[in-house]
Structure 1
Amino acid sequence: MKKIAVIPARLEATRFPKKLLQDLGGRSVIEQTYLATVRTALFDEVWVATDSPEIAEKIKATDGKVFFSQIAHSCGSNRIAEAVEALPADIIVNVQGDEPFIQKESLQHLLEVFDHDPQQQIDLASLMTPLREWEEIQNPNNVKVVVDKNQFALYFSRSPIPFPRGEQDTYSYKKHIGVYAFRKQALMAFYRLAPTPLEEIEKLEQLRYLENGRRIKMVLTEVENIGIDTPEDLEKARFLWRDHIATF
C-alpha cells in the first residue's frame, strides 16, 4: 500500500492567527511538524497543503513538497482531499500542522489498522490518548471522544463527555488527537459531503463523518502529543522542546 502524509496548513487560525509561523527551536511550528513527520520514515511522500505563500516558502526552503490550495476550505480534510485528488495513494494520513511533537510510535499504530484489515472494512482511523486531570477534561481545546466496546467512535465533543453525575474518576476519559488516516476513496467521499449541523456547532470536522453514518476506528496511544492552539500552548511547547529533540 502506498501511504502518504499531508499536513493541512491554514495561516489564519481562529484562536491563534499565524501560529504555524511562530518560532519553535529555531524553526517555525509548521517546519518542525513537517520534519517530524518525515523523520518517522513511515510514508512514501509527505506534503504540506496550504493557502499561504509564507508557509509554502518555509516548506520549500526545507526541500519539502507543497500543494497550494486553489479553493477556500472549511476544514483540513477538505484541503487534503483537493491536494491528493490526482495523486496515486492507498492511505492518506492527515497530520495537523500544529502537532510538532508527533512521533513514529503513534503513527505506526494508526497505520497498522489498515495492515490488519484485509477485507477493507475500516475506511478511517484516528488517535486518542487518556485524559487524567479534570481541568484538562473540562478544557474545550481538548476534544473528547467516547467509543464503543470495539473502539469505534460514538461521539466527539469539546464538552466533558460523558458528563459525570457522580465521581468523574470512575471513567477513563479520552482526548482525541487530530490525526486521521483515510483510505483514499473514503477521503474523497468525505470531501463530497456537505458540512453537517453537529460539525458546525462543535467546529469538529470528524462529526460530519459520524452524522453520515460512517465509522471511525479509534487507536489508543500513551504517547503524548502536544498541540499548539493558544499562545500559552506555544510557551509550553518551547519549554518542552529541548527535552523532546534530545530523544532523536
Structure 2
Amino acid sequence: MKIIAMIPARYDSSRFPGKLMQNLGGKSVILRTYEATMETNLFSDVYVVTDSEIISQEIKSHGGKVFMSQKIHESGSDRIAEAAEAIDCDIVVNVQGDEPFTDKESLIKVLDEFENDSENEIDLASLMIHITDAEEILNRNSVKVIVDQRNFALYFSRSPIPYSRDKTVDTKYFKHKGVYAFRKQALLDFTKLPMKMLEASEKIECIRYLEFGKKIKMVETDIHGIEIDTPEDLINANKHWKTN
C-alpha cells in the first residue's frame, strides 16, 4: 500500500488565530508538526495542505512539500481530498496541524488496521483514548465516541456519551483523537456527500461518514499528546518541549 500523510493547516482559528505560526521550542507549531510526521518514516510523502501563503512559505523554506488549496473548504477532509485526488496513493493519513507531538506508535496501530483488513471492510481508522476526568468528559470541545464490540464507531458527540443513568454501571468514556487514516476513495466520496442534520448540529465531520454508511474503525491508545487550541495549550506545549 502507498501511504501518504496530509496536514491541513488553516491560518485563521476562532479560538487562537495564527496558532500554527506560534513559537514552539524555537520553531513554528506547523513546522514542528511537519517534522514530527516526517520523522516517523511511515509515509511515502508528507504534504501540508493550506490556503495560507504564510504557512506555505514557512514549510517550503524548510524544504517541505505544500499543496495550496484552490477552493474554500468547510472541513479538513474536504481540504485534503482536493489535494489527494491527483496523487497516486491507497491510504491518506490526516495529521492535525496543531498536534506537534504526533507519535509513531499510535500511527502504526492505525495503519495496521488496514494491513489486517482482508475484507476491505474499513473505510477510515482513527484513535480514541480512555478519559476519566469529569471536566474533560463534560467539555464540549472534547469529542467523545462510542463503539460496538469490534471497535467500529457508532456515534461521535460533544455531549458525554454514553449517558450514565445507572450509577452502578462502570461506564467508560473515550475521547476521539483527531488522527484519521482514510482509504482514498472514502475520502473522495466524502466531498460528494451533503452535510446532514447530525453533522450540522454537532459540528463533527466524521459523523457524515457514519450517516452515509461508511465504517470507521477506532483504535485505542494511551498516549494523550498535546493539542494546541488555546494560548494556554501553547504554554503547556512549550513546557512539555523543554522537559522532553
Taking a change above 3 Å as real, the CA distance of residues 134 and 145 of structure 1, as seen in their structure-2 partners, is same
Q: Greater shift after overlay, 168-177 or 112-121?
A: 168-177
Asked whether the equivalents of residues 141 and 229 of structure 1 are also in contact (C-alpha less than 8 Å), the reply is no
Q: What are structure 2's unaligned runs of at least 5 residues?
A: none
Shift of residue 165, structure 1, vs aligned partner: 2.3
Root-mean-square deviation (CA), in Å?
Answer: 1.3
TM-score w.r.t. length of structure 1: 0.95
Shift of residue 163, structure 1, vs aligned partner: 1.8
Shift of residue 53, structure 1, vs aligned partner: 0.3
* Residue aligning to 1:74: 74
Q: Secondary structure at the match of 1:170?
A: coil
Shift of residue 48, structure 1, vs aligned partner: 0.4
Q: Secondary structure at the match of 1:192?
A: coil
Shift of residue 119, structure 1, vs aligned partner: 2.2
Shift of residue 233, structure 1, vs aligned partner: 1.4
| Structure 2: distance between partners of 1:129 and 1:150 | 16
Q: Greater shift after overlay, 67-76 or 225-234?
A: 225-234
TM-score w.r.t. length of structure 2: 0.96
| Structure 2: distance between partners of 1:11 and 1:81 | 19
4+ long deviations beyond 2 Å: 165-169
Asked whether the equivalents of residues 56 and 68 of structure 2 are also in contact (C-alpha less than 8 Å), the reply is yes
User: Map of 1:9-20 to 2, 5 A cutoff?
Assistant: 9-20=9-20
Q: Counterpart amino acid of 2:62?
A: T
Q: What per-residue deviation string (whole Å, max 9, x for no partner) do you get for residues 178-221 of structure 1?
A: 11101111111111112222212211110111111222110001
Identity level (%): 57
- Number of residue pairs aligned between Structure 1 and Structure 2: 244
* Residue aligning to 2:121: 121
Tell whether 2:133 aligns with 1:133: yes
* Residue aligning to 1:149: 149
Q: What per-residue deviation string (whole Å, max 9, x for no partner) do you get for residues 119-138 of structure 1?
A: 21111111001112111111
Taking a change above 3 Å as real, the CA distance of residues 4 and 14 of structure 1, as seen in their structure-2 partners, is same
| Structure 1: distance between partners of 2:65 and 2:37 | 13
User: Map of 1:40-59 to 2, 5 A cutoff?
Assistant: 40-59=40-59
* Residue aligning to 1:162: 162
| Structure 2: distance between partners of 1:4 and 1:73 | 21
* Residue aligning to 2:97: 97
Q: Greater shift after overlay, 180-189 or 115-124?
A: 115-124
